[in-house]
Amino acid sequence: MATGGVPFDALSSLDPETFAGESRAVINFLADYYRDVETYQVQPQALPGCLRALLPDAPPENGEPMDVILEEVRTHIVPALTHWQSPKFFGYFPMNASTAGFAGEMLSTGLNIVPFMRVASPAATELESAVVDWMGKLVGLPDRFLFSGGGGGVLHGSTCEAVVCTLAAARDRALSRLGHEGILRLVVYASDQSHCTFQKGARIVGIPRSNFRIIPTTAASGYGLTAASVRDAVEADVASGLVPLYLCATVGTTGLGAVDPVRDLGELAQRHGIWLHVDAAYAGSALICPEFQHHIDGAELADSVSMNPHKWFLTNMDCCCLWVASPAALTSALSTNPEYLSNVTEESAGAGVVDYKDWQIALSRPFRAMKLWVVLRRYGGAGMRAYVRRHVEMARWFEQALEADGRFEVVAPTRFSLVTFRLRPRHEGDGDAVDGLNRRLLVAVNASGRAFMTHFVVDGKFVIRMAVGGAMTEMRHVHDTWELVREKAEEVGALQNERNVLK
Amino acid in the structure at residue 486: R
Q: Residues 452, 494: contact at Cβ < 8 Å?
A: no
- Least Å distance between CB 475 and its own copies? 11
92 dihedral zone (left: phi>0; alpha: psi -120 to 50; beta)? left
190 close to 277: Cβ distance less than 8 angstroms: no
Backbone angles phi, psi at 391, to 5 degrees: -70, -40
**Hey, what amino acid is at 31?**
A
Closer residue to its own copies, CB minimum distance, 82 or 326: 82
Please select the residue that binds its own copies; options are 278, 376, 437, 468, rule is CB under 8 A.
Answer: 376
Please tell me the count of residues contacting its own copies according to CB under 8 A: 177
Distance CA 409, CA 452 (A): 19
Nearer to its own copies, 127 or 249 (CB): 127
Q: Give the nearest distance from C-beta 476 to its own copies in angstroms.
A: 14
Cα gap 279→199, rounded to integer Å: 14
> Which of the stretches 52-60, 260-268, 293-301, 429-437 binds its own copies when contact is defined by CB under 8 A?
52-60
Question: Are the C-beta atoms of 116 and 340 separated by less than 8 Å?
Answer: no
- Taking residue 299's Cβ as centre, other Cβ atoms within 10 Å add up to 26
Distances 458 to 132, 395, 417, 463 between C-alpha atoms, Å: 35, 20, 19, 7
Q: Are 391 and 335 in contact (CB under 8 A)?
A: no
Contacts of 56 (CB under 8 A, 6+ apart): none
* Span near its own copies by CB under 8 A; candidates 27-35, 396-404, 425-433, 491-499: 27-35
Provide the CA 257 distance to its chain's centre, in angstroms. Answer: 13
User: How many CA atoms are closer than 13 Å to the CA of 247, on its beta-carbon side?
Assistant: 31
Q: Which one of residues 40, 90, 129, 468 is an interface residue with its own copies (CB under 8 A)?
A: 129
Q: Omega before 318 cis (within 30°)?
A: yes
Q: Which one of residues 250, 285, 316, 414 is an interface residue with its own copies (CB under 8 A)?
A: 316
Q: Is 461 in the site for its own copies (CB under 8 A)?
A: no
CB of 404 to its own copies, least distance (A): 26
Q: Which stretch binds its own copies (CB under 8 A): 28-36, 259-267, 290-298, 489-497?
A: 28-36
Query: Of the ranges 74-82, 244-252, 392-400, 480-488, which one interacts with its own copies (CB under 8 A)?
Result: 74-82
Contact call for residue 264 and its own copies (CB under 8 A): no
Smallest distance, Å, CB 271 to its own copies? 27
Minimum separation from the CB atom of position 68 to its own copies (A): 8
The answer to whether 152 and 327 have CB atoms below 8 angstroms apart is yes
Smallest CA-to-CA distance from 260 within 211, 203, 195 is with 195
Identity at 2, one-letter amino acid code: A
Site for its own copies in 194-253 (CB under 8 A): 195-197, 199-200, 203-210
CB closer to its own copies, 268 vs 365: 365
Site track 418-457 with its own copies (rule: CB under 8 A), x = hit: ---------------------x--xx--x-------xxxx
Binding residues for its own copies restricted to 396-425, rule: CB under 8 A? none
* CB nearer its own copies, residue 167 or residue 301: 167
Among 42, 132, 138, 287, binds its own copies (CB under 8 A): 138
Q: Contact at 8 Å (CB) between 334 and 322? A: no
Q: Which of residues 90-119 bind its own copies (CB under 8 A)?
A: 92, 95-103, 105-114, 118-119
Choices 190-198, 237-245, 475-483, 485-493; region in contact with its own copies by CB under 8 A: 190-198
Residue from 363, 410, 433, 484 that binds its own copies (CB under 8 A)? Answer: 363
- Which of 239, 241, 290, 336: binder of its own copies (CB under 8 A)? 336
What is the rounded CA–CA span in Å between residue 9 and residue 5?
Answer: 12
Q: Which listed residue (149, 222, 383, 413) binds its own copies by CB under 8 A? A: 383
Q: Which stretch binds its own copies (CB under 8 A): 218-226, 237-245, 363-371, 404-412?
A: 363-371
